[in-house]
Chains A and B, each alone.
Chain A
C-alpha cells in the first residue's frame, strides 16, 4: 500500500547564536492510511521537528529544511508555496499538540476555534460550522456539547481540552493526523481514554496517524509500526511486536530496560541510560549513541552506522549485533 505521507532523507538545521543545531539528520519514515506510526525518542531527538517540518510549521528562520523530500499523496510539500501549504494544513493533515492548556487561544471560545478550520477550508457559514463543531464535540465525547460550544478553554478540564483539540483536528476529515505527545500532559486515566478515542477514530475514518511520544507503554498500545529516533537519526524501525520482542539497537534495548515493571517485586533501582542526551550543536563523529552505549566498539566512535534497509521488516542503524556483542 502506498503511504499517505512519506518523509525521505529529511535534514533540518536550526541556525542559532551558538551555532548550527543539527536537529534532523536524514530521517525517512512513512505513514499509511488506517495505520499508526509511533515515533519514540528522548526530548530533543528531532521527533517533533521532523513532523513539524512535514507540516511546514517550524519557524524559518532560525529553522531550515536543508535537504530531503516530503510527499503527501505523491505531492512534494517542500515545493508548495505558502497558500498551497495552507490548503493542506488542517484540511489534509491535522495536528494535535502536547499541552492542551497552552495550545488553545485563551480569549476565543472552544467552538470558535473548532469552527475556524471548516469555515476556511470548506467555505461554509457560521451556522453550519457551528452545527458541525457541535457534532465533532459530541464525537469526541464532550457531554452537553451544544452548551459547551461557547465555553472558553479555561472552563474545560485538561482531558476535555485534549478531546476538544482532537475535535478541532478532525474538523476537516484529514487523511493524516499527527499527534505530538498528546497524552504527556494528562494523568494516566485520561491518557488511556484519549488513546482509545484516537485509536477508535483512526479506524472509523481510515486516517494515517503519526504518534510522537517518549512513552513506550503508549506506543505498545497504539502503534502498528515504530520509529526510534536518537539525535536526529532513525536508529531502529520495526513492526511494533517485533520491536518489543526483539529490540536490536542498543538504544531501544536500553529504553525498554528503563521501563518500570509492575510484574516483579524486585527492589532494584530503575535502570537508566548512563550519560546525558547528545548536544545537537556538536554531535560526536561516529555513532551519536556511542558515548552512552555499553556495546560500543572502536568503529562506533569513528563511523556513524547507516540505517540498514535491506529488510523492510526490521531496520537498524548499528555496527554491533547485540545478541552476540560482536560486529555484524
Chain B
C-alpha cells in the first residue's frame, strides 16, 4: 500500500511538469500583460521595453517557463538592456516554492492565493456539505420510490436544475431574495461581498452572506449529484444481497444504511473525488456574481489582466489537487471495498 502510494506520487511528477508546460504556453498566448499596466493611459514605448525586460518577457517562452520552474537566481540577467548580463536574478522558481510576483498587485502569488483560498473554502465547504446532504437524501428517497409521484417530481426538478445556467440562477435568486424582498419589506439577503463592512467579518455576518451563493452552487450540483445517487441506489437495491438482508428481517432503514449505501457510495466517491479539487478552485461565475473574494474570482480577474504568475499559480494548484485527490480516491476505495487491494 505504501509502495503503491509512493509509486503513484512519483508517476505524478512528470505528469505535472508536462501539464504546467502546456498551461504556461497557453497562458502566454492569452494577451499582452503590459497592456493594462498603465491603467487607462497607454504606456510609453521606452517604459514598455524596460518592463518587458525586467519581467523577463523578452525571453523565448521556453526560457520563461524554465525560469518559472527553477528560478533565475543562478544566472545573470540583463537589466539595463545594454546586451551584457549584469546581475543575478531574484526568482527561485516553483520547484522551490516561489510562484513569482503578481504583475498587477506586485505581491507574491502565494500570498494572494492564500488570502483567497480561505474565503473559497468557507464558501465551498459549506456548499459541499449542503450538496452531499440533499443529494443523498433526495437520491435515496426517490430511488426507494422509483416512478412514484414524488420521484417524478424530483426527476423533473433535477433536470430543470441541471439545465439552469449558474449566472442566471444567481441573478434570479438575487432579484427575488434581495431586491424584491427588500422592496416588500421582508428580511432580505445581501447581494454582494462576504460581510457588511460596517459590522466586520463576524460569523453571523458571513453566514448571512453565504446563503445566496451557497444556494446557487448547491441547487445546480444537487440536481446532478442526486441523479447519480438515485441510479446507484437503484442498481444496488435490486441486488441479491439486498434481498438476503430483507430475508433476515432487518428493518428497511438498517438495510439501506448498512447494506445498500456502502455499495452505492463506491462510484460516487469517484465523482466526488473528481469534483473536490474543482470546488477548491472556486466557483468562478458564482463568486463573480456575488462578489465573493475567493479563488474563482481571483482566477477571473487574473485572466482579464493576463496576470500570468497568478494564473499559473491557480492552475498549477488545481492540477496538483486533481492528481492528489485521484490518489486519495483510489485509497478510499480500499476502505469501502475489501475486494480492492493495491500491491
Q: Is B111 an interface residue when CB atoms closer than 8 A count as contact?
A: no
Q: Is B72 an interface residue when CB atoms closer than 8 A count as contact?
A: no
Asked if residues A121 and B249 are in contact (CB atoms below 8 Å), the reply is yes
How far apart are the CA atoms of A106 and B248 in the complex, in Å?
Answer: 17
A40-61 interface code vs B (CB 8 A; 1 in, 0 out): 0000000000000001010000
Given A99-B240, A152-B338, A154-B338; A168-B248 close (CB under 8 Å): yes
A96-131 interface code vs B (CB 8 A; 1 in, 0 out): 010100111111110001001100110000000000
> Shortest beta-carbon distance, A235 to chain B, in Å?
28
Instruction: Chain B residues near A197: list those with CB within 8 A.
Output: none
Residue in contact with B240 in the complex, picked from A97, A117, A154, CB distance below 8 Å:
A97
Q: Is A28 an interface residue when CB atoms closer than 8 A count as contact?
A: no
> Shortest beta-carbon distance, A222 to chain B, in Å?
21
Interface centre among B244, B249, B337 (most CB of A within 10 A): B249
How far apart are the CA atoms of A120 and B247 in the complex, in Å?
Answer: 12
> Shortest beta-carbon distance, B178 to chain A, in Å?
46
Instruction: Chain B residues near A82: list those with CB within 8 A.
Output: 252
> Shortest beta-carbon distance, A281 to chain B, in Å?
21
> Shortest beta-carbon distance, A23 to chain B, in Å?
16
Asked if residues B251 and A97 are in contact (CB atoms below 8 Å), the reply is no
Q: Is A90 an interface residue when CB atoms closer than 8 A count as contact?
A: yes
Instruction: Chain B residues near A313: list those with CB within 8 A.
Output: none
Asked if residues B263 and A105 are in contact (CB atoms below 8 Å), the reply is yes
Residue in contact with B248 in the complex, picked from A89, A99, A109, A152, CB distance below 8 Å:
A89
Given A89-B249, A120-B250; A102-B339 close (CB under 8 Å): no
Q: Is B50 an interface residue when CB atoms closer than 8 A count as contact?
A: no
Interface centre among A105, A113, A117, A152 (most CB of B within 10 A): A105
Q: Is B239 an interface residue when CB atoms closer than 8 A count as contact?
A: yes
How far apart are the CA atoms of A68 and B243 in the complex, in Å?
Answer: 23
> Shortest beta-carbon distance, A111 to chain B, in Å?
13
Asked if residues B241 and A106 are in contact (CB atoms below 8 Å), the reply is yes
Residue of B nearest to A61 (CB): B147
How far apart are the CA atoms of A154 and B338 in the complex, in Å?
Answer: 9
How far apart are the CA atoms of A204 and B263 in the complex, in Å?
Answer: 37
Q: Is A91 an interface residue when CB atoms closer than 8 A count as contact?
A: yes
Given A106-B263, A107-B262, A121-B249; A154-B339 close (CB under 8 Å): yes
Residue of B nearest to A95 (CB): B247
Q: Is A94 an interface residue when CB atoms closer than 8 A count as contact?
A: yes
Given A106-B337, A152-B338, A154-B338; A90-B248 close (CB under 8 Å): yes
Residue of A nearest to B261 (CB): A107
What secondary structure prevails in chain B residues at the interface with A?
Answer: helix
Given A108-B258, A152-B339, A154-B338; A103-B249 close (CB under 8 Å): no
Asked if residues A107 and B336 are in contact (CB atoms below 8 Å), the reply is yes
Instruction: Chain A residues near B259: list those with CB within 8 A.
Output: 105, 108
Given A102-B239, A102-B240; A107-B246 close (CB under 8 Å): no
Q: Is A87 an interface residue when CB atoms closer than 8 A count as contact?
A: yes
Instruction: Chain B residues near A89: list those with CB within 8 A.
Output: 246-249
Asked if residues A57 and B338 are in contact (CB atoms below 8 Å), the reply is no
Instruction: Chain A residues near B251: list those with CB within 8 A.
Output: 86, 120
Q: Is B157 an interface residue when CB atoms closer than 8 A count as contact?
A: no
Q: Is A88 an interface residue when CB atoms closer than 8 A count as contact?
A: yes
> Shortest beta-carbon distance, A317 to chain B, in Å?
30
Instruction: Chain B residues near A97: list those with CB within 8 A.
Output: 240, 243-244, 247
Residue in contact with A116 in the complex, picked from B240, B248, B252, B262, CB distance below 8 Å:
B248
B26-57 interface code vs A (CB 8 A; 1 in, 0 out): 00000000000000000000000000000000
Asked if residues A107 and B249 are in contact (CB atoms below 8 Å), the reply is no
Question: Which B residues, 65 to 121, have Cβ-Cβ distances below 8 Å to chain A?
Answer: none
Asked if residues B338 and A86 are in contact (CB atoms below 8 Å), the reply is no
Asked if residues B339 and A106 are in contact (CB atoms below 8 Å), the reply is yes
Asked if residues A120 and B249 are in contact (CB atoms below 8 Å), the reply is yes
Instruction: Chain A residues near B246: list those with CB within 8 A.
Output: 57, 89
> Shortest beta-carbon distance, B235 to chain A, in Å?
13
> Shortest beta-carbon distance, A180 to chain B, in Å?
10
Asked if residues A87 and B249 are in contact (CB atoms below 8 Å), the reply is yes
Top 6 closest pairs, chain A to chain B, by CB: A90-B249, A89-B249, A90-B248, A102-B240, A105-B241, A152-B338
In the complex, 16 of the A-B residue pairs with CB atoms within 8 angstroms, ordered by the A residue number, are A88-B249, A89-B246, A89-B248, A94-B247, A95-B247, A102-B239, A103-B243, A103-B244, A105-B263, A106-B337, A106-B339, A107-B338, A116-B245, A120-B248, A121-B249, A154-B338
Chain B interface residues toward A at CB < 8 A: 239-241, 243-252, 254, 258-259, 262-263, 336-339
Chain A interface residues toward B at CB < 8 A: 55, 57, 82, 85-91, 94-95, 97, 99, 102-109, 113, 116-117, 120-121, 152, 154, 168
